[in-house]
Amino acid sequence: MRRLGLRIDFSQLIVWIIGLLLLALVVIGTISTLQTGKYSAQQWRDFVVFGIAQGSIYALIALGYTMVYGVLGLINFAHGEVFMSGAFTGFFLANALAENGMIDSNPILSLIAVILLSAAVSTGVALALERIAYRRLRRAPRLVALITAIGASFFLQYTFRGLYGSGVKVYPTVEILQGSVFGIQKTMIVVFIGAISMLILLYLFIQNTKMGKAIRAVSEDVETAALMGVDVNRTISATFAVGGVMAGVAGVLYAIIFKQVNFFMGFIPGIKAFTAAVLGGIGNIPGAAMGGLVLGIFESVGPSLFLEGLGIPAAYQLKDVIAFLMLVLILIFRPTGILGERLATKRV
């Protein structure tokens, strides 16, 4: 038994050494990058701003992952497609509004209309997903539900590909969002404000409403919540709906800064958002938001800061390597993510 304990320490030691080596590499890279003085302070600020904009979108998608995980313990792999469905559908309204001039004469109203449509479609898709694909599988092993989610993800992707065509669609440009304030693009500011206000709304909803309480209760313990008179089915549906709304809004915000939408656009942000959710501690709502922002910033700053100093060419090709290595590092030193898990660790 004593030997056993020693061995575990030994393997843990190796892991820590690997972790520290990676950290050392990061530090060396950072120092040598900063020494060369290649980038100005302005450029560093730009990197961070770009990262925050991208990160806000990850954060909004990650909320859907984390909430569903909270109540069902399920990795909703199809959540990226929920995001896509809203943004893709919203394009047609935005395009119509641009054609009759509404979007320039009345930009706020148009934006709200597009967001409403996008959120409605995303919510509808999320609810349908829950009702058709997941409800029957609540008692099944989680891997079964995971495969279902993956299947649903393919199905949704290619459904929307068939429905709207496989070409790239481009959102119209909004005139008043052009240009910059204090050297920061207006679009970025809008996206950031949009994301923050959605987060605050969500927080108020979860903390203060009856349904919010029910969601929290179900994610603590389904059976006890049911015994306390919580309608579990309704609560789970509500969770999916809230996740859908967040994804729908994220879709429009995405369209504001990136413009292009297509049927495959949900896949990569979906995986990144999942990473962000785990990074922040899956099941933890502020954690997901934080994870998204951290991931976005690291992706944007990391390649320049860590890699260029090490003399690695085409550093931005490796930004996902940085993102995932950072994830592993954080999980080595903080096994339950940045903000930790709110749930009991064991959910099998």
Partner 1 sequence: MKRLFGVMTLIAMLSVLLAACGGQPTTTPAEEPAAEATEAPAAEPAEPTEESTEATEEPVAEATEVTEEPAADPVEDPLGVVEVAPGDSIILAYAQVISGPNETLGVDSIRGVELAMDAFGGELLGHPLELVGEDSLCSPEGGQAAATKLASNPQIVGIIGTTCSSAATVAAPIIDEAGMVMISGSNTAPALTDPAEHVQGFLRTAHNDKVQGAVAAEYAFNVLGVTTAATIHDGSVYAEQLANVFAERFTELGGQIVAQEAVNAGDTDMRSVLTSIASDSPELIYYPIFVAEGGFVTSQVGEVSGLEGVKLMASDGLFSPDFIDAAGDAAVGMYLSSPDFSAFAGGYEDFLAKHEERYGEDPLSVFHANAYDASTLILNAVEQVAVEQDDGTLLIPRQALRDAIYATADFAGLTGNLTCDENGDCADPNIAVYEVVSGDSSLWQDEVVQKVYP
Partner 2 sequence: MTSGLRSAFNFGLLGGVVAWHACLVGMVESFSERRLIGETVELSYVWLVGIVLLIGYLKARNVQAPGIAVFHSIVSGATIGAALTLLALLTSVFNLRDIFPFASPRLVELLTLERGIADALGLLFPILGGAVLGAAAGGLALAPPIWRRTITVALLVTVLIGLLRDIFAAIVPRDVVSLIFTSRGLLPMGALVVFVVSGALTWLIGTFGLPGISTDASSASRSVATPWKYAYLGFGVLFLLTFPLWGKLFLSNVANFIGLYIIMALGLSLVIGFAGMLDLGFVAFFAIGAYTMAILTSPKIGTFTLTFWQALPFSMLFAFLSGVVLGLPVLRMRGDYLAIATLGFGEIIRILALSNFLKPYMGGAQGITSVARPEIAGFVISKPEPFYYIVLIGCVVAWFVAARLKHSRLGRAWMAIREDEDVAQAMGINRVETKLLAFAIGAILGGMSGAFFAGLVGSVVPKSFELLVSINVLAVIIVGGMGSLPGVLVGALVLVGLPELLREFAEYRMLVYGAVLVVMMLFRPEGLWPEAVRKRELHKDETSAPQRVTTSVTASTTPSVKD
Determine the 3-state secondary structure of 299 from DSSP. Answer: helix
How far, in Å, CA of 87 to CA of 125, rounded? 12
Applying CB under 8 A, among 155, 203, 205, 258 the residue interacting with partner 1 is: 258
* Residue 192 in contact with partner 1, rule: CB under 8 A: no
Measure the CA–CA gap between 143 and 155, rounded to whole angstroms. 18
DSSP letters along 90-114, please?
HHHHHHHHHHTTHHHHSHHHHHHHH
Interface residue with partner 1 among 212, 251, 303, 337 (CB under 8 A) is 303
Q: What is the contact surface with partner 2 in residues (CB under 8 A)?
A: 1, 4, 7-8, 11-12, 14-15, 18-19, 69, 75, 92, 132-133, 136-137, 139-141, 143-148, 150-159, 161-165, 271, 274-275, 278, 282, 312-314, 317-318, 320-321, 323-325, 327-328, 331-332, 335-337, 345-348
Please identify, using beta-carbon distances, which residue of 207 and 260 lies nearer to partner 1. Answer: 260
Residues 6+ apart with CB under 8 A from 176: 104, 107, 186
Nearest-angstrom CA–CA distance, 77 and 318: 24
Closest CB 270 distance from partner 2, rounded Å = 11
Closest listed residue to residue 87, CA positions, set 111, 64, 118 = 118
Alpha-carbon span 248 to 125, nearest angstrom: 10
In angstroms, what is the minimal distance from the CB of 300 to partner 1? Answer: 4
What is the residue-wise DSSP string for 225-250? HHHTT--HHHHHHHHHHHHHHHHHHH
Residue 16: other Cβ atoms inside 10 A: 12
| Contacted by 301, from partner 2, partner 1, none: CB < 5 to 8 Å by type | partner 1
Chosen from partner 1, partner 2, none, partner binding at 264 (C-beta under 5 to 8 Å by type): partner 1
Cα separations in angstroms, 161 against 88, 164, 263, 265, 268: 10, 6, 5, 11, 16
Q: Which of 106, 173, 197, 207 binds partner 1 (CB under 8 A)?
A: 173
Does 58 participate in binding partner 1 (rule CB under 8 A)? no
Residue with the two structure tokens 């994610």: 219
The length of the chain in residues reads 348
Out of partner 2, partner 1, none, what residue 14 binds, judged by CB under 5 to 8 A for its kind, is partner 2
Minimal distance, residue 184 CB to partner 1, in Å: 10
Q: Is 4 in the site for partner 1 (CB under 8 A)?
A: no
Binding site for partner 1 (CB under 8 A): 7, 10, 38-40, 42-43, 46-47, 50-51, 53-54, 158, 161, 165-168, 170, 173, 180, 183, 185, 254, 258-260, 262, 264, 267-268, 299-301, 303-304, 308, 313-317, 319-320
